[in-house]
Amino acid sequence: MSARMIEHCPTGIAGLDEITSGGLPAGRTTLISGGPGCGKTLFGATFLVNGARVGEPGVFIAFEEREDEIIANAASLGYDLQQLVDDGLIEIDYVQVNRDQIYQTGDFDLAALFIRLDLAIRTSGAKRVFIDTLEILFAGLDDTVALRSELRRLFGWLGERGVTSIVTAERGDTSLTRHGFEEYVSDCVILLDHRVTDQLATRRLRIVKFRGSAHGLNEYPYLIDDAGISVIPITSFDLSYAASTEIISTGIADLDAMFEPGGLFRGTTMMVSGGSGTGKTSFAASVARAACARGERASYFAFEESVSQIVRNMGSIGVDLTTAIDDGNLQIVAGRPTQIGLEHHLSVLHRHVERVRPSVVIMDPITDFEALGSHDDIKAMLVRMVDFLKQRGITSVFTSLTSRYDTEESSVSSLIDTWIQLSNEERDGRLVRAMYVRKSRGMAHSERVRVLELDRNGITLRRVDDETERKDAIQDGQPAGRG
């Protein structure tokens, strides 16, 4: 096999196969290194389960956990490992190395381990092998030199067997792995990192080495939950997405009329910013409902209100969401953003979009992310979020509570295609909601301030009475007749 033409063995882990251009190097050994709790074992278990599902049996050599523990842990990801064991598709061999029972007296080798592995591979016809984790040998046996030479032999032996394997290792303080396994594994090394910052857990994956294949150098967030593992290759997105020329309605006729083409470009990002009670949610909900009315799907991520609150409040201003929800076109995902970290938000969004495939995504409000990281962190996440949504041609609406994001200098503004500004203003002794289009890329738009009226009949954007405007202008000491 030419070094350039490495074949790939798909892991079936969402995202990982993308960033490795198809999977792990087939017939080779991959090293996964990481600290405790980063999910090494679950990566390996997933690799075996997904192999079994495509007819490639696997062997699980477990040093750390007993068979029943492994089966129970895999069940937390929704895998029925017991069934696969019963079907002969996965062979689990728990290798116990108990230091208290072992006394060392002279030279030895690991021939018995090789024999066990060989037997398990032959019994199951395995194409995949997962060994978790060889560190235990170092804890149980003293002769580090002998162990190292045996492990070198093991990796070579696995290669000769033509099986695709994953071995795990504990991350070292100063090195990639505590016992330097990376020296022996030359084909693929993956580093998992599990950090807790400000009580928020972030999991990231990095491909340190991948011989003979292009791979992303970035850190990728990954997520472990009851739907398994997914790696989010969001940073691999570039600006190559096609700009749509299709015009879609915002669901507010008066707003559509403010844009020269009569609506927004599909796949663009709209931000609606304003203080509390200025009507941001009504804009966002209208865009979502309009999509559903066209027979498309919309996903509404609500960070401050419950589903029933949103449905009730929108119903009171003539934006009926119940039909769209009942039809299954509208999904409202409500939850406090502080429950999960920034990366996790991206992961959740990514997974949701993959599953639901909405044409419109609402984030209400993005300012709630402020608690989750520095301004730069949040901006970086929003960039990735916007890139990801645009890549999929998804139209998005972000609401923003008046904040630092609202300043023109704010770097976030560069992400936004259409920016609507709302405010509460006093006019002729009464409080009115005012709105104007701050910018809209690629299209002419009205620059006039409108008065936003929300009532049972829906959302109206009334032109400000010319008379009023003239009076205002004169009061400001400016000549009349503009606007």
Partner 1 sequence: MRSRMGSRQAEGDHDRTPEGSEPAGADTVVDEPTGEVKEWQLRLYVAGETARSTAALANLRRICEDHLAGKYSIEVVDLLVRPQLAKGEQIVAIPTLVRRLPEPVRKIIGDLSDRDRVLIGLDLRPKD
Q: Is 93 in the site for partner 1 (CB under 8 A)?
A: yes
Pick between residue 119 and residue 371 the one whose CB is nearest to partner 1.
119
Q: Is 374 in the site for partner 1 (CB under 8 A)?
A: no
Q: Is 118 in the site for partner 1 (CB under 8 A)?
A: yes
Q: Is 103 in the site for partner 1 (CB under 8 A)?
A: yes
CB of 61 to partner 1, least distance (A): 10
Query: Long-range contacts for 468-475 (Cβ within 8 Å, ≥24 apart)?
Result: 468/427, 468/428
Q: Is 246 in the site for partner 1 (CB under 8 A)?
A: no
Cβ contact 459:252 at 8 Å? yes
Residues 6+ apart with CB under 8 A from 364: 280, 281, 284, 300, 301, 302, 303, 304, 305, 397, 398, 399
Stretches 107-115, 259-267, 322-330, 445-453: which one binds partner 1 (CB under 8 A)? 107-115
Residues 6+ apart with CB under 8 A from 475: none
Angle at alpha carbon of residue 82, lines to 34 and 73, rounded to 5°? 35
Q: Is 152 in the site for partner 1 (CB under 8 A)?
A: no
Q: Is 75 in the site for partner 1 (CB under 8 A)?
A: no
Q: Is 107 in the site for partner 1 (CB under 8 A)?
A: yes
Q: Is 288 in the site for partner 1 (CB under 8 A)?
A: no
CB of 36 to partner 1, least distance (A): 23
- Single residue of 116, 153, 215, 352 touching partner 1 by CB under 8 A: 116
Residues 6+ apart with CB under 8 A from 216: 19, 207, 233, 235, 236
CA 95 from centroid of its chain's CA atoms: 36
CB of 107 to partner 1, least distance (A): 5
CB of 141 to partner 1, least distance (A): 7
Q: Is 134 in the site for partner 1 (CB under 8 A)?
A: no
- Single residue of 75, 115, 371, 444 touching partner 1 by CB under 8 A: 115
Cβ contact 343:279 at 8 Å? no
CB of 126 to partner 1, least distance (A): 15
Pick between residue 122 and residue 357 the one whose CB is nearest to partner 1.
122
- Single residue of 97, 201, 380, 454 touching partner 1 by CB under 8 A: 97
Residue ranges of alpha helices (H) inside 259-317 are: 280-293, 307-315
240-263 burial, b if ≥16 CB within 10 A, otherwise e?
Answer: eeeeeeeebbbbbebbbebbeeeb
- Single residue of 69, 109, 260, 447 touching partner 1 by CB under 8 A: 109
85-105 burial, b if ≥16 CB within 10 A, otherwise e?
Answer: beeebbbbbebeeeeeeeeee
C-alpha 200/C-alpha 260 separation (Å) is: 45
Q: Is 112 in the site for partner 1 (CB under 8 A)?
A: yes
CB of 117 to partner 1, least distance (A): 10
Per-residue tokens: 249: 């309605």
Closest listed residue to residue 284, CA positions, set 296, 268, 302, 297? 302
CA 430 from centroid of its chain's CA atoms: 45
Pick between residue 99 and residue 357 the one whose CB is nearest to partner 1.
99
Binding site for partner 1 (CB under 8 A): 93, 95-98, 101-113, 115-116, 118-119, 137, 141
